[in-house]
Structure 1
Amino acid sequence: MRRATATENAHGPARGFLREFGDLGAVLAYALTGGFLVLSGVVEGPMRVLVAGPLLFFLPGYAVVAALFPAEPPDGGGDGTVLSAAVLRRPGVEWVERVALSLAVSVVVLVLLALALSLAGSSFATAPLVTVVVALTAVAALAAGGLRARLAPGDRATAPVDRWHDEARAATVDAGSGVDAALNVALAVAVVAAVAALAVGLAAPQSGEAYTEAALLTESDGKLVAGDYPTDLTAGEPASFTLVVENHEGAATDYTTVVVLQRVQTDGESVSVLEQQELGRESLSLGDGERAQQAVSVTPDLLGEDLRLRVLVYAGDPPAEPTGASATEHLTLWVDVSPADGA
């Protein structure tokens, strides 16, 4: 059991409160601040990864473990005798175990939250995931504080900051030789670098995973299906489709959709555009992981058979001459367009 030291008594109850609840306050403050920075887009790129790493892979588990084990671990009462029944009823874990459990529990929490989001029909994207992680961390930290406050001051789990400070000083400033101090510092730097690299590898999106998904659908029996497309069109008469776009670019994206009708000539494997008519363009803004439907109405004037109707989806602004090669995604439908009088 940890007892209050003379130094603590000298500095009054304020320092004692910080020692016993400061870790939970820091967890709560970081979760709220880090969540705001990530969700608001204030931090981007590597800084976003550095902020999100602890938020996703340590703090949720730490708060949950703190709620499960609000007390110091049993120590036999400090006299080396057999543990008493009172001590055995006060379970706790050492701080090395607490940190290890925090990492493991955080991973489990992320998996369970992802499953819950999937079952709830929400997209597994940055905004909903970070929101529920921050909410869970805050609730667990507050619960841990309440459970810890119910214990006697000497029984509460308290970060041994003074012991860590003494051990760090003994390993560096008070080391037996300069070589020992340098090796200890190098080891500490290597551990921090390894943890940072692991956080980057887990939290940073891989460049190959950024993509946009698009589909052209039509209505059949009250449902949207990828089939039964109208291929016989009439000049001057509108034909309707539904464009579905899903953003997996890793960030909020402004899309532009351009619909063109092309008369083409095929020569073996190559296709040459002889004539092109732009039928319309629309804008669409999606957050990361969001999916939206957009009505597409085309009114062709270009006449002919085997004309190529293309829906070009651009992440950003399209070029002056939109083509399938320059589009982020393109959808193609072959149609025949006849005159309005049927001639």
Structure 2
Amino acid sequence: MATDADANIETETLPIDLLLIGLLGFWHLGVAQGYFEQSPAGVFLGLGAVLVAPGYALVALLFPRGSSESGGLFDNREGRISTGERLLLAVGSSVCIVPLLGLGLILGSLGATTGSYQLSIGVTTVLLTFAATIRRLQVPPDVRFSPLRWVTTVRSIAVLKPAGGVPALRILLVLGLLVSGTGIGYAAMSADRGERFTEFALVTESANGEPIASEYPSQIPLGSSRTVQVTIGNHEGQDLNYTVVVIAQRIENGSVLATARIDRFRNRVAAGDTLKRSHEMSPTLVGDDVRVSYLLYRNEAPVGANPRPENVYRRTHIWVNVTSG
């Protein structure tokens, strides 16, 4: 017949704390993908997902063993740590992990945007939680760490009595903070502030010769042309080659009935510069409300597929009536 101790061991087999940390990691992934809206509760969840979750999962992976039932503090064998030390290392490890993830995005040229940053934190938390769960379940139940035993070890949070090997852990934490601070400083000095992007627009000239984003040509006879100015502003942090493809499309009830390529040109724009190029627009499709699209590609336009608004890096367009007269 099962005893109360056996029932407690079976209950503690479920890693409740890691389950909550994993759910927090998946919530962070959902935030990165835009599935959850901002809310007051989301602010607190976000703080936990950044300042606690990744570090807690890492500490759980490194220290799967739990506390002794007698003293409330972990003994000094087999690298055990106290509950207070576990929480302290969780926060400290998160402070180290999160900036290093951002530095990795910058050095890997993956784009350190808010979405990618949140995605990397969520993925790291989920993977560490999965690995920590597997390792904890490999530890015998009688020495396995369980959050259900925290009630008997609450006083270890206030009294961080050093356990065996703790000095080495504190040294490791300090070194991690130094590495993290160095990474933040390097990122601040080497990376441009703000999001990297390319500005792409069509402008015309006003009566006094000033460029304006209005007064576009509304009617063009077939065989004639009108002049517009293409503006490409490179804010990507590096010199880039851009290809612009100009197409005309006859559209009816939202469906594209015909497409014709008008022109194609290529320019190199230095980092931080803005290219202004005049272009003679001459549509070859007759009809009302012909959409003339300017499609911008980084480097070359796709070869295997025809350039179209769905596969571009940036695009802009105007509507014109093309007459046959």
TM-score by length of 2: 0.47
TM-score by length of 1: 0.45
